[in-house]
Amino acid sequence: MLAKISHNTGNYTIDFSQPLDISISLRGDNKNPIAWYLKHPEIKPVIDGDFIGKVSKGSSVNFNNIWFNPHAHATHTECVGHISHENQTIQQHLKTFFFKAELISIEPQKKGEDLVFTKSQLSNKLKNFSSEALVIRTLPNYIGKISKHHSHSNWPYLEEESANYIRELGVKHLLIDQPSVDKEKDEGKLLAHRAFWNYPKNTRFDATITELIYVPNKVEDGNYFLNLQPASFENDAAPCKPVLYKILEK
């Protein structure tokens, strides 16, 4: 289904019948991606006396409980409530869900024992940036990301000046295929989160960070429209299914 999109940078045509899903599905087993030292999620039928919520066990319905942590187990979108003293939820601050986005692929640079995304790398990729959302795909890219166990891996992260640069470009919605934009073990500094949200001096309440995405190799770098719809959780973060749509013409 073709649709005309009017954006402040122009008019575009996209095809809603050709979605490019960049989320990772939640599984109730050890093949699920895992971060932050938690065990894998669980999806189990409700058991109440003789009732077992599973059709194959004699129930009329499948009726499961799901245990998971959005930051550790799933593609998730978070607001500044992730780092603020005040209770801020994604439902309070994300009010629109369709944005022009640019996808870039970067191989992080080695600095000491770390791998980092530098301001120089970003500025080389984003010379003509005119979007609201930025999607970062880490190179090398491989299918194993959808089930990777990230704990104690010292994943690639954004330097503070890189996050400042992204904010200054006007990026409102940042998406990345790592468990966090920050270093795994940073003594709680969260420098990239703070820089991107400009917290606490001039906080950007309407800005979001989406982590643990997976962008298949078949999806080429370039401009897209992004549908960003977190689940309706009154929490600092919620599971999300970000979907890209290729721009067919201007």
CB atoms within 10 A of CB 146: 18
Note the pLDDT of residue 9. Answer: 84
Phi, psi of 53 (to 5 degrees): -75, 60
**Residue 58 belongs to a domain:** no
**Residue 49 belongs to a domain:** no
Residues 114-156: tens digit of each pLDDT: 999 999 999 999 999 999 999 999 999 999 999 999 999 999 9
**pLDDT at residue 250 above 90?**
no
**Residue 56 belongs to a domain:** no
% of the chain residues with pLDDT over 70: 100
**Residue 36 belongs to a domain:** no
Determine the structural domain holding residue 20 and report its residue range: 2-25+70-249
Kindly report the average pLDDT of the chain as a whole number. 97
Strand ranges inside 118-207, DSSP E: 133-138, 157-158, 173-176
**pLDDT at residue 170 above 90?**
yes
Q: CATH number, domain at 110?
A: 3.50.30.50
Q: Tally the domains of the chain.
A: 1
**Residue 59 belongs to a domain:** no
How many Å apart are CA 119 and CA 109, to the nearest integer? 11
Residues 177-189: tens digit of each pLDDT: 999 999 999 999 9
Cα 157 to the center of its chain, rounded Å: 14
The residues, ordered by sequence, that sit 6+ positions from 213 with a Cβ below 8 Å of its Cβ are 22, 23, 24, 75, 135, 175, 176, 177, 242
**Residue 184 belongs to a domain:** yes
**pLDDT at residue 249 above 80?**
no
Any idea of the CA torsion for 161, 167, 169, 172, to the nearest 10 degrees? Answer: 150
**pLDDT at residue 52 above 90?**
yes
**Residue 171 belongs to a domain:** yes
Residues 4-49: tens digit of each pLDDT: 888 888 899 999 999 999 999 999 999 999 999 999 999 999 999 9
Note the pLDDT of residue 21. Answer: 98
**Residue 32 belongs to a domain:** no
